[in-house]
Amino acid sequence: MRAVEVAAQPGGAWRAWAVGRRAHVDDVLARAQAAGAARADLHGALWGIGVMLDGVATAGLPAGRFDALAEEVLARAAARVSAHRWHPHDPTTAVLLDWVPRLAPALGPEPAAALTDLITAVTRLRGTVDVVRWRDLVGVAMAGATDPTHLRGAVTVAAWRCGAVGWRAAALTVAADLPEHVLGGAARLRQGGSAAAPWEAPVGPAADGGARSVLARNAQDPWWWPGLTGPWRIGGFRGFGGPWVRIPELLGGDGLRWWVRTESAPTDGAAGADDIEPADSHGDVPPYRYWEVRADIHGSRAVPRPAPAGGDRPAWAAPSPSGAVAVRAHEHSYYLHVTRR
Amino acid sequence: MNESGAPRSNRVGARVSPPPAVAPEGLSAAPTLPTASSEDRRELSVDDLFAPLAPESAGPTGLDEKLRQAYFWIVNHAIISPHYDIEFERPGAAGRSFALGDSAAELRLPSAQSYSSFVLLPLLTFAVRGRCLLLGGPGRGKTASAVLMGILAGYPIREVRRAMQHGHPQLTVTDMFGTPLPKDLISADSLGEVDVAWRTWLGMRVKIVDEYNRIPTRTQSALLTVLADGYVEVYDQIYSTGSSAWYLTANDDAGGGTYQVVEALKDRIDVVAHALPFNTRFLDQLVDRAARRLRPEEQVPEGIVFTEAEHDALDAAIRAMPLPADVRRRIEFFAAQLEFLERAGVQFEYRTKDTARLAGADVHQIAAQDTGRDRLSDVGTSALNGLSVRSLQSLISYSKAMAFFRGRPEVGIEDVRAVLPFVLHDKINPDLRAGVFDGDDGAPLRTDRISWLRGIFDDACAQYDTLDRDGSDSVGEILDELHAGLDGVDAASVRVRLARIERVLDSWSMARKLYGHLYDDALALKYAHQRYTNYLTWLSSNP
């Protein structure tokens, strides 16, 4: 594959860039092919990034920044193709094709570090958040930004907003450093938003505290969010995307975390979706599996834990935790049911 | 929360992972041994979200992963061996077993990743550069397996085939290793001046000797030197072969072949792998290969070929694998049971099977003179000999290789248990007249040496647990105290330690029968006593 083939693509900034740097592009492509990239795969990848970069240029990215971005995108795409990992489910592919068009100006004049951040975060959280909404929220938050100063903060808040409950504390912390418009975009809190569309929760003007006051209240009550009143469900049957193959039994909690046990099942362990650390390493199958469930208004995550020493629950799990919501398990349900008190 | 009011994890498909990328040539990019990510319990920060990920290359191109990739490529594409006779269980989640047929033959479904010995043992031999004997009837894939190992070492298929030594009754030392140059034979004034044209296979990292039991005895002796010491001598010229993986094949190990195999040569073999029979349910794969004229050895993917540097690194990584003290103690406990023969001598040190064997006596007859010993539970009574140092070295080396292959951080007792029967296959001879081989349960063990060896190791481990040797080991404490050094230890302390040794021996003389592990412990105490005695003498002469 050679740069001249890029020139065969419909005209645009990408074509002009590639033809103008023919020797360099040829060199990148030759190295990719030497590293195992198939010609057809390279062709497909270049077509995809070409369409994306043309769109970015049309949207008005300055020429200097376009050059730096094209250079970085080409190198990363070629590397992924060489590793046989260029496909829609690959985090790098998704970032280059879907995130970059929304964030190109915010990546700054030297986009390498920001791209690495995005790829790292998307790789780390894949499968635990709604990636499409996450991407859109970050795009909205960073609209108008010309440098990546607030990119990490926006990515973190948006990830939490889209279900990454593990990053709740990080998001609430970093939110304090974000400008109101970035925070409002990342948390999807729009002034004058429609109450009928909870996803676009309405908040008052910044003078009334705005998005910041919503987050402050949520920090006190993890199940409060404008427009959302519950009830909610946590967990679920593994066959339908939840963590469990046995009905959960709630043993305690602390308001943000809940301690749950399920009967052991033959599919736990090697064949199970979650690799569970054994409670007993001497050959006896333990009767129960224990789980720490972390949940708030935006998402939940159940993590298998070893059986607690000396009892059924760890010290932090109170049998009847206080708080704004009541969490219950039912004999007939794979969910934990959350209602406001 | 999303529009439906359900948290994200409740959504169908929310946990769907991307399909693993599959590279061409049949190697999956997915890890062969996925492990759970260890979740940190502290609160996560923004920096955690953007902290560099473990490089993808750390898994797929790690040497243990590469070794597993090689294993799975061989079992999936080259050697049709759908057997999982090296079984592993997941701790706390034992697999199910089923009793089939009148004999209630037990079929176990292991809960952890298990392996085919016929493929795995040659691969571990490649990794540790050991010596592997492949046994089995003609056409079972012994030679093909050995050839694949040569290709894994990076040699072209043609070179591997040319380098393979085929045993036959007329094979001479010079045929095998090298010929003196005729010119030198005429003109040289001394043997040292005779140049030898060495055979190229001697320098290869993988050496294959096909049908080694058809090689004449004299040539076997020369082969022994190469196997054991890594050099060969012809006409006063020495060629150093370096360390390499050896594969020897034989159709019959029970005295068949054209020549009896030299006992010392057998002893140099680290591990024995049996070619398991072909499972007829997999005939379709043979049909497909024939239809496509497919020769797996010509299709080995580049991704599983080990360069010389990688091979060296593999060997070094396996040697560095830790062998924890509790695992080592169980090996010691097992090995101690085998050598002891109470009635073979008078002096304590000579009460061993080796003493009886060197005297040409019948070990079984001498063992039968023992009374009061439980012959079924005493591991040593079913074996005619003990373990040599070389056998123990092989056992440790292959246990480490197994742990490395399984991606374990250190050797576990299950790794030792997995390789032990194959390492000791030709090293421990069963006493077929022993009671353990009688009855419906014992009779099959006469022919199934693997199960017998694994059984006696399990018995030894059970005894070890019953005696709580992990919890109370006074001999171990005494030896640890000694090995901590004698610098600064005064005469009074030495006398206390000597008294402790004598107290332990006193307690044994009053209460216990003498078993193999006690025999070794008693000799170790004598050693400690002697060291302290000498030290005390030295202290007395240098006040």
Query: Is residue B463 helix, strand or coil?
Result: helix
Interchain proximity B9–A236, CB inside 8 Å: yes
Q: Which residue has the tokens 């006469």?
A: B446
B520 Cβ neighbours under 8 A, 6+ residues apart: B332, B336, B340
| pLDDT tens for each residue of A230-286 | 788 998 888 888 888 889 999 988 888 899 999 887 655 433 334 444 444 444 557
The pLDDT score that the predictor gives to residue B16 is 30
The pLDDT score that the predictor gives to residue B96 is 80
Interchain proximity A235–B10, CB inside 8 Å: yes
Q: What is the mean pLDDT of residues B49-72?
A: 69
Chain A residues lying within 8 Å of B34, measured CB to CB? 275
Interchain proximity B5–A228, CB inside 8 Å: yes
Q: Say if residue A231 is preceded by a cis peptide, omega within 30 of 0.
A: yes
- pLDDT exceeding 90 applies to what percent of chain B? 20
pLDDT-wise least confident of B31-45, B94-108, B262-276, B283-297: B31-45
Interchain proximity A84–B29, CB inside 8 Å: yes
Query: Other CB atoms closer than 10 Å to residue B513's CB: what's the count?
Result: 12
Measure B37 CA to nearest chain A CA, in Å: 9
B373 Cβ neighbours under 8 A, 6+ residues apart: B381, B513, B515
Is pLDDT of A203 > 60?
Answer: no
Query: Is residue B405 helix, strand or coil?
Result: helix
* Closest alpha carbon within chain A to B28: A84
Q: Given CA atoms B340, B342, B346, B347 in this order, what sign does their dihedral have?
A: positive
Interchain proximity B51–A120, CB inside 8 Å: yes
Angstrom CA distances, B414 to B83, B127, B317, B457, stand at 19, 19, 19, 11
Q: Which of A126, A167, A325, A334 to mutate to test the interface with B (most CBs of B within 10 A)?
A: A167
Confidence of residue A52 (pLDDT cuts 50, 70, 90): very high
| pLDDT tens for each residue of B498-513 | 999 999 998 888 766 7
**Tokens coding B376:** 């079924």
What residue ranges of chain B are covered by domains with CATH 1.10.8?
325-466
| pLDDT tens for each residue of B361-382 | 888 888 888 766 666 667 888 8
Measure A21 CA to nearest chain B CA, in Å: 30
Angstrom CA distances, A17 to A341, B365, B417, stand at 61, 91, 63
Measure A328 CA to nearest chain B CA, in Å: 15
Considering only the beta carbons, identify the residue of A166, A232, A283 that sits closest to B6: A232
Confidence of residue A46 (pLDDT cuts 50, 70, 90): very high
Confidence of residue B92 (pLDDT cuts 50, 70, 90): low
Interchain proximity B8–A89, CB inside 8 Å: no
Chain A residues lying within 8 Å of B40, measured CB to CB? none
CA angle A288, A293, A297 (to 5 degrees): 155
Q: What is the mean pLDDT of residues B177-186?
A: 80
- Residue B368 to residue A303: CA distance in whole angstroms: 59
Q: What is the mean pLDDT of chain A?
A: 83
Regarding an ipTM greater than 0.85, the answer is no
The pLDDT score that the predictor gives to residue B4 is 37
Class of domain B117-319: alpha beta
Measure A278 CA to nearest chain B CA, in Å: 6
- pLDDT exceeding 90 applies to what percent of chain A? 37
Chain B residues lying within 8 Å of A277, measured CB to CB? 36
Confidence of residue B163 (pLDDT cuts 50, 70, 90): confident
The pLDDT score that the predictor gives to residue A272 is 37
Is pLDDT of B258 > 50?
Answer: yes
- Residue A329 to residue A219: CA distance in whole angstroms: 25
pLDDT-wise least confident of A197-211, B263-277, B326-340: A197-211
Measure B47 CA to nearest chain A CA, in Å: 9
| pLDDT tens for each residue of B283-307 | 888 888 788 777 887 878 888 888 8
| pLDDT tens for each residue of A90-140 | 999 999 999 999 999 999 999 999 999 999 999 999 888 889 999 999 999
Is pLDDT of B19 > 60?
Answer: no
Core vs surface per residue B283-297: b (16+ CB within 10 A) or e = eeeeeeeeeeeeebe
| pLDDT tens for each residue of B208-237 | 988 888 888 888 888 888 887 888 877 777
Chain B residues lying within 8 Å of A124, measured CB to CB? 49, 53
Nearest to B248 by CA among B231, B234, B238, B262: B262
DSSP B439: H
| pLDDT tens for each residue of B406-442 | 888 889 999 999 999 999 988 888 888 888 888 878 8
**Tokens coding A118:** 């995005």
Contacts 24+ apart (CB under 8 A), A90-96: A90/B18, A90/B21, A91/A119, A91/A122, A91/A123, A91/A126, A92/A119, A92/A123, A94/A122, A94/A131, A95/A119, A95/A122, A96/A49, A96/A52
Q: What is the mean pLDDT of chain B?
A: 81
Residues A33, A39 contacting (CB under 8 angstroms): yes
Measure A235 CA to nearest chain B CA, in Å: 6
A325's enclosing H/E stretch is strand A325-329
Q: What is the mean pLDDT of residues B11-34?
A: 46
Chain A residues lying within 8 Å of B301, measured CB to CB? none
Dihedrals phi, psi of A171, to nearest 5 degrees: -65, -45
- Residue A210 to residue B206: CA distance in whole angstroms: 72
The pLDDT score that the predictor gives to residue B257 is 60
Chain A residues lying within 8 Å of B465, measured CB to CB? none
Interchain proximity A236–B49, CB inside 8 Å: no
Interchain proximity B112–A295, CB inside 8 Å: no
| pLDDT tens for each residue of A309-321 | 777 888 888 887 7
Q: Given CA atoms A210, A216, A218, A220 in this order, what sign does their dihedral have?
A: negative
Is pLDDT of B543 > 70?
Answer: no
- Residue A21 to residue A23: CA distance in whole angstroms: 6
Q: Which amino acid is at B262?
A: V
The pLDDT score that the predictor gives to residue B435 is 82
What residue ranges of chain B are covered by domains with CATH 3.40.50.300?
117-319
Measure B2 CA to nearest chain A CA, in Å: 7
B106 Cβ neighbours under 8 A, 6+ residues apart: B97, B98, B99, B100
Interchain proximity B111–A270, CB inside 8 Å: yes
Q: Could you say which architecture CATH assigns to the domain B325-466? A: Orthogonal Bundle (1.10)
pLDDT-wise least confident of A26-30, B23-27, B256-260, B409-413: B23-27
Chain A residues lying within 8 Å of B48, measured CB to CB? 170
Beta strands per DSSP E along B202-266 = 206-210, 231-234, 237-240, 245-250
